[in-house]
Amino acid sequence: MNYSEYKNYMSKIADVGHSIAVLSWDKEVYMPSGSSRFRSQQVATLSGIAHEMMTRSSFGGSLKKLMTDESLSPKEKNNVSLTLKEYNKATQFSEEFVIKRSMLTSEAFHAWVKAKEENNWLTYAPALEKLVDLKREEAKLLGNADHPYDNMLDIYEPGMTVKKLDQIFIDVRERLLPLLEKVRNLPRVDDSFLFLDYDENKQWDYGIDVLKAIGYNFSMGRQDKSAHPFTTSFSPEDVRVTTRLKKDDFSYMLWSTIHEGGHALYEQGLPTSEYGLPSGSYMSLGIHESQSRLWENNVGRDFDFWQHQFTVLQDIFPSQLGKVSFVDFMKAINKIEPNLIRTEADELHYHFHVMIRYEIEKKLIGGEIEVKDLKDVWNDMYEEYLGLRPKTDEEGILQDIHWSHGSFGYFPTYSLGSFYAAQFFEQAQNDIYRLNEKIERGDTTELLSWLRQNIHEVGHSMEAEELCNKVTGSGLQLDSFINYIEKKFTRMYEEY
């Protein structure tokens, strides 16, 4: 197998993977309620085919041989190397182990769904316990690392470690807690005008307009409705987003739309010539999330963007927003208030939600705590960091789907995304002449070009830390995020 045959083979595996994505998209968006049985079977069959193609021993042999090919460019070599890493991971486990994992995951997921319905943690705990035991085994099997949880982190954020994350979350505590203290003393924000009657069709149309405004390409994408918003890619030439609407909650639609739009801009910007290869795929979940959060928060919750958009929005909803002042609107969409639910958290408290999950996962996989103690640990940490104690399991330990899927190591990428986003956006402001003024005029073209060139087109040709250094001149740090927050709040409460 030469490089071009390898590339062709990878594109066939990608074709199968993207077909699964189409079937899954349809399932969430248009599939009739009674049709799930055969759809699940069809997805399982395609997954089996993709897995077989990826783990075929002849393919592994070809990859090892290709690694010694001196004629490959560094990018090509990196592709083969990352594919070999994936091959090794996929072939690491015995068939028995894979079947057991699939069974325990399915069991945990169904237990979680039932537990949510019953609002009862004890319905979930036994299945989760078995799954955690297996995940501890998996972490060990995945190789030597300073901490077994490192192997879990590496699945979603290649190169990320407990050592690095511990430092990041120490920073989060040290630097965000004083910030929160300051915010707590600010006058109470009235955001009630965001919860008036907003016509859903007008909301929908405005969401589409905003997606267009930030550069989402509708001739190679579309937006539909689904219960939980998501972005999915069938190729860089077909990237779809979904959103949701609530008549009496304008925020419910808009920032979720911009968030998914950010993910979609990344996928639409991946190089089509590298289809199916690491160099044609996203770099890590943290980098993916940096793109959604940059547009959602650094652009979509800051002054410049709304300098332009607020009057547009007032024209669409005059009776709801006509008499609201610009700064009151800014305060409302940036309201800081602790709550119990991660997905409803504000920009600051969000990272404490993530930190709690990170600390728990690390100790769970490391064997320092046990599933039976999880609820108490959870509730204690919420009380300590957010000053709130869940009254029910539903608003506490049962709120996330992730663990029931066996996704340990995923949560930290949410926070990483915010911190990368702030760092990238700060750099873009340095690199692009008068970017803020351009955004104020509603023009984000140059920002998107900058992201395309510096991040999107890179695909997965290097690791996140290397990219961060290359683009911003330093590794991941919290300064940019803190600066961004401080600047925004200063502007809201002092300059206006």
359-378: contacts with a copy of itself (CB under 8 A): none
Structure tokens at 137: 């085994």
Q: Can you tell me the distance from the alpha carbon of 322 to that of 249, in angstroms, rounded to the nearest whole number? A: 17
| 12 vs 184, beta carbon nearer a copy of itself | 12
Alpha-carbon dihedral 7, 10, 15, 19, rounded to 10 degrees? -160
Give the C-alpha distances (Å, rounded to integers) separating 433 from 298, 430, 437, 447, 482: 17, 7, 9, 10, 23
Q: Site for a copy of itself (CB under 8 A): how many residues? A: 37
Q: Does 231 bind a copy of itself (CB under 8 A)?
A: no
Pairing type for strands 221-225 and 238-243 reads parallel
Binding part of the chain for a copy of itself, among 66-74, 147-155, 171-179, 218-226 by CB under 8 A, reads 218-226
Interface with a copy of itself, residue 102, by CB under 8 A: no
Q: How far is the CB of 316 from a copy of itself (least distance, A)?
A: 23
Piece of 23-31, 97-105, 116-124, 140-148 that binds a copy of itself (CB under 8 A): 23-31
In angstroms, give the least distance from the CB of 5 to a copy of itself.
Answer: 15
Tokens of residue 400, six digits: 């996330």
Stretch in the footprint of a copy of itself (CB under 8 A) among 35-43, 114-122, 208-216, 249-257: 35-43
Q: Note whether 275 binds a copy of itself by CB under 8 A.
A: yes
d(CA 214, CA 218): 12
Per rule CB under 8 A, is residue 273 in the interface with a copy of itself? Answer: no
Query: Would you say 35 or 325 has its CB closer to a copy of itself?
Result: 35
Whole-angstrom Cα distance, residue 90 to residue 84?
10
- Residue 85 is inside which H or E element, if any? helix 74-90
Quick one: which of 1, 3, 23, 402 contacts a copy of itself (CB under 8 A)? 23
**Is 84 an interacting residue with respect to a copy of itself (CB under 8 A)?**
no
Interface with a copy of itself includes 113 (CB under 8 A)? no
**Region binding a copy of itself by CB under 8 A among candidate stretches 45-53, 89-97, 247-255, 356-364:** 45-53
Task: Please report whether residue 55 would count as binding a copy of itself according to CB under 8 A.
Answer: no
Residue 171 main-chain phi, psi, to 5 deg: -60, -45
User: Is 260 annotated as catalytic?
Assistant: yes
Task: Check residue 227 for interaction with a copy of itself (CB under 8 A).
Answer: no
- With contact defined as beta carbons under 8 Å apart, do 88 and 57 qualify? no
208 lies in the binding site for a copy of itself (CB under 8 A)? no
Give the shortest CB-387-to-a copy of itself separation in angstroms.
46
Among 1, 3, 28, 49, binds a copy of itself (CB under 8 A): 49
Determine which helix (DSSP H) or strand (DSSP E) holds 224, and give its type and residue range: strand 221-225
- Which tokens belong to 240? 């779809």
Sheet architecture: strand order including 231-235: 221-225, 238-243, 231-235
At 306, list the tokens: 């709304």
Residue closer to a copy of itself (CB basis): 240 or 353: 240
d(CA 487, CA 361): 33
CA distance 327 to 61: 62
Q: What is the Rg, in whole angstroms, of the alpha carbon atoms belonging to the chain?
A: 23
The least distance separating a copy of itself from the CB of residue 358, rounded to whole angstroms, comes to: 37
Which of 4, 34, 144, 227 lies at the binding interface for a copy of itself (CB under 8 A)?
34
Dihedral sign of CA atoms 279, 284, 285, 286 in order: negative
Phi and psi at 230, nearest 5°, equal -155, 165
Please tell me whether residue 39 binds a copy of itself under the rule CB under 8 A.
Answer: yes
Least separation in angstroms between residue 111's CB and a copy of itself is 26
**Residue among 23 and 492 whose Cβ is closer to a copy of itself:** 23
For a copy of itself, which stretch binds (CB under 8 A), given 36-44, 145-153, 208-216, 359-367? 36-44
Instruction: Tell me which of 148, 207, 215, 221 binds a copy of itself, using CB under 8 A.
Output: 221
Of residues 341, 397, 407, the one with CA closest to residue 125: 397
Catalytic residue, from 260, 274, 359, 394: name it: 260
Amino acid identity of residue 181, one-letter, is: E
Identify the residue among 73, 219, 319, 494 touching a copy of itself (CB under 8 A).
219
Distance CA 238, CA 235 (A): 5
**Interface residue with a copy of itself, options 1, 3, 42, 247 (CB under 8 A):** 42
Per CB under 8 A, does 222 bind a copy of itself? yes
Task: Dihedral sign for Cα 370, 372, 373, 376, please.
Answer: positive
Return the structure tokens found at 269. Answer: 């910007």
Backbone angles phi, psi at 241, to 5 degrees: -120, 160
Nearer to a copy of itself, 272 or 483 (CB): 272
| Rounded CA separation 213/64 (Å) | 46
Question: What residues line the site for a copy of itself (CB under 8 A)?
Answer: 11-12, 15-16, 18-19, 22-23, 26, 30-35, 37-39, 41-42, 45-46, 48-49, 217-222, 224, 234-235, 237-238, 272, 275
Residues tagged active-site: 260
